[in-house]
A and B are shown apart, each in its own frame.
Chain A
Amino acid sequence: MMLHRILSGDFPRSRVLALALLVVFAGLALAPFLFPGARAINVAATICVFVVLVASYDLLLGYTGIVSFAHTMFYGIGAYGVGLSLYSVGPTWGAVFMGLTLSLMLSLALALLIGLFSLRVKAIFYAMITLAVASAFAVLASQLSDFTGGEDGRTFSVPEALRPGFRLVENEIFGTAINGKLLTYYLVFFSALALFLLLLRVVNSPFGRVLQAIRENDFRAEALGYRTVVYRTLANCLSAATATLAGALMALWLRYAGPQTTLSFTIMMDILLIVVIGGMGTLYGSVVGAALFLLAQNYLQALMKQASDGLAAVPLLANLLHPDRWLLWLGVLFVLSVYFFPTGIVGKLRSRK
């Protein structure tokens, strides 16, 4: 009953999926104790942030049927908002909240403007306009280097409780020091969990049902008396706000905000890929997809390097397997999964019964 409330009545509906979700949840919740080492914990924190980021994108793509290429822009606004505010005001909690408020306001205003401006027309129109706006924003962020640090981005210090030097308890617990890094991780983890459950609540509410109706047949939804423009714009704003919060979490974790980690088109591509592979139109897809994808990204690239070095004698093949060509294989995987697995991993698991 309790679980029913927490998951908003949206159960995994597949044993394998439920098991996978439990493994991911347990793995992330206990990551600092299970997997020691800076790299493992970094991967875990990135997964937490990406689950929220991808879930918020799925609200647009999977539930409402809108393709946006500006999601990294909102993510970037969140990261830069917190980052620049900590950089200029100094490492206090006040600065964090100021940055968060300002960036949320900016994101909402932009999402509202873009939405009202272009969501009246077709999905394709919105895709083009967001692509243009997002690339202009990325150029702006790297050009205004006095303010944003340009291509190098900004490194900043976080409030004292979140610094690695800070000790909550002197003794180690299960061989892990209870320091500021651990606190930051749990801040990221619980914020991500809360945001994810909130999104789950949203998509299973009457509001979420209307969004799905718009996705299936917007003309019919309009005829039933729902103002589709209003619903689409609201979904857009909600998704943008969540992405902003995800960006802020990422900035707190990395203690850095720069164009490569937040605004680059590669990240947009990652988001698209995770949504499609995990399964469009189901938030659990973002959990499974993000976990699989980021693990592969962090540990498979090493494998590719080995293969490439091993094949150095074969010119073209070595190039194909070079770690920098990671995106090539992602692209192929992406096209194939749109064709053959449009419902993604979650859809496959659910239909298997």
Chain B
Amino acid sequence: MTTTTPAATADAELPRLRLDTPPLLVLPILALLALPLIGSFPTWVTLTVAGLAMGMMIFIMASGLTLVFGLMDVLNFGHGAFVSVGAFTATLVLLPMQGWMQADSVLLNLAALGLAVALAMLVTGLLGWAFERVVVMPVYGQHLKQILITMGGMIVAEQMIHVVWGPDQIPLPLPTSFRGAILVGDAAIEKYRLIAVAVGLIVFVAMFLILNRTKIGLLIRAGVENGEMVEALGYRIRRLFVGVFVAGSALAGLGGVLWGLYKETLTAAMGGDIMVLVFIVIIIGGLGSVGGCFIGALLVALVANYAGFLAPKIALVSNILLMVAILLWRPQGLYPVAKR
């Protein structure tokens, strides 16, 4: 008994990881700086909520990608395909269930939406598993081929959507009870944006807890730091990776459903278009870092919304400018992952 006590105290005395605060401060500073520029408080609230909602959706789509990259050094350029497939799969539920969607009952609306999300995540998860098996597995460790192959995979997936669902856009109206806006003071806040923020927060918190409080999370984090060591300790990092890949794909599918409902129209190219933002986000956040990805997503979305209001012409390149600014400050992204 006496011998365990010093060990326990030694455990407790392990230095805690220092929290790297400056990146955390960027967001509030940005929001506060934008306030006097915009001038009107209600407009600012509307823009900020819109930015947060957009940021949460981008985070959901980007988080899987950055984890996969951190864990296995695979950058999946075809990630956008899961976004499109997720959104289009949701129509399989949402369009036949118009009755539930149009019903004036929050419960029925939620049920229809929940069913659609579940199906979309299931399909994209399975697709992710197949994609990993067939497309990605043969090219581990070869960056050049990975980029080419996953890009090709994305084109094929996008075209298959055209084959299955036809070449036209599909309108996807929001359920009745999520339409419209609520007034807080003078600021109008769209209900759906609040839902997006809530879902994004739930995903972030769940991910944070899994990564920091469970054994699987511990293994994933260890794998990001040093995969070989985790393997040497007897864990099968391959299985871990397949799991993360499937989860990341399912999250992309969830993001696709949310994004599709946000835009209210679906095109097969939507995944490819959003990938540009997703790449900027994970570069800003630091490749492989989930926390950085979260902050990066919110930053990109807020800047896009503020710039869209203040100077629409600059808004087109605001993301690139933001990326340049961040990389000049921290060349490896906000939270660089140790080994790279």
Complex: how many Å from CA A136 to CA B287?
21
Complex: how many Å from CA A320 to CA B280?
34
B34-42, B139-147, B289-297 - the one binding chain A? B139-147
A334 at the B interface (CB under 8 A): yes
B114 at the A interface (CB under 8 A): no
Chain B, interface SS category: helix
Q: Are A328 and B151 in contact (CB under 8 A)?
A: no
Q: Are A335 and B152 in contact (CB under 8 A)?
A: yes
Task: List residues of chain B with CB within 8 A of the CB of A338.
Answer: 145, 148-149, 152
**Min CB–CB distance A3 → chain B (angstroms):** 33
Contact of A331 among B77, B144, B152 (CB under 8 A): B152
Q: Are A136 and B320 in contact (CB under 8 A)?
A: yes
Q: Are A272 and B148 in contact (CB under 8 A)?
A: yes
Q: Are A331 and B159 in contact (CB under 8 A)?
A: yes
Complex: how many Å from CA A139 to CA B135?
31
Complex: how many Å from CA A334 to CA B158?
14
Q: Are A335 and B156 in contact (CB under 8 A)?
A: yes
Mark each residue of chain A from 298 to 325: 1 if its CB lies under 8 Å from any CB of chain B, else 0: 0000000000000000001001100011
B8-16, B160-168, B251-259 - the one binding chain A? B160-168
Q: Are A135 and B276 in contact (CB under 8 A)?
A: yes
- Would A132 and B156 be within 8 Å (CB), given that A124-B147, A272-B148 are in contact? no
A149 at the B interface (CB under 8 A): no
B residues 178-219 touching A (CB-CB < 8 Å): none
B51 at the A interface (CB under 8 A): no
Mark each residue of chain B from 294 to 324: 1 if its CB lies under 8 Å from any CB of chain A, else 0: 0000000000000000000100110110011
Mark each residue of chain A from 331 to 352: 1 if its CB lies under 8 Å from any CB of chain B, else 0: 1101100110010000000000
Task: List residues of chain B with CB within 8 A of the CB of A269.
Answer: 155
Contact of A117 among B77, B159, B324 (CB under 8 A): B324
- Would A128 and B163 be within 8 Å (CB), given that A65-B144, A334-B152 are in contact? no
Size band of the interface chain A makes with B: 35 or more
**Min CB–CB distance A210 → chain B (angstroms):** 18
Contact of B147 among A67, A121, A324, A342 (CB under 8 A): A67
Contact of B317 among A61, A67, A136 (CB under 8 A): A136
Complex: how many Å from CA A327 to CA B154?
11
Task: List residues of chain B with CB within 8 A of the CB of A328.
Answer: 155-156, 159-160, 162-163
Task: List residues of chain B with CB within 8 A of the CB of A128.
Answer: 75, 279-280, 282-283
**Min CB–CB distance A68 → chain B (angstroms):** 10
Q: Are A143 and B159 in contact (CB under 8 A)?
A: no
A158 at the B interface (CB under 8 A): no
Task: List residues of chain B with CB within 8 A of the CB of A316.
Answer: 163-164
User: What residues of chain B have their CB less than 8 Å away from a CB belonging to chain A?
Assistant: 75, 77, 135, 138, 143-149, 151-153, 155-156, 159-160, 162-164, 166-167, 272-273, 275-276, 279-280, 282-283, 287, 313, 316-317, 319-320, 323-324, 327, 331
User: What residues of chain A have their CB less than 8 Å away from a CB belonging to chain B?
Assistant: 61, 65, 67, 117, 120-125, 127-129, 131-133, 135-136, 139-140, 143, 265, 269, 272, 276, 316, 319-320, 324-325, 327-328, 330-332, 334-335, 338-339, 342
Known: A124-B146, A335-B152. 6 other contacts (CB 8 A): A124-B143, A125-B283, A129-B323, A324-B162, A332-B152, A338-B152
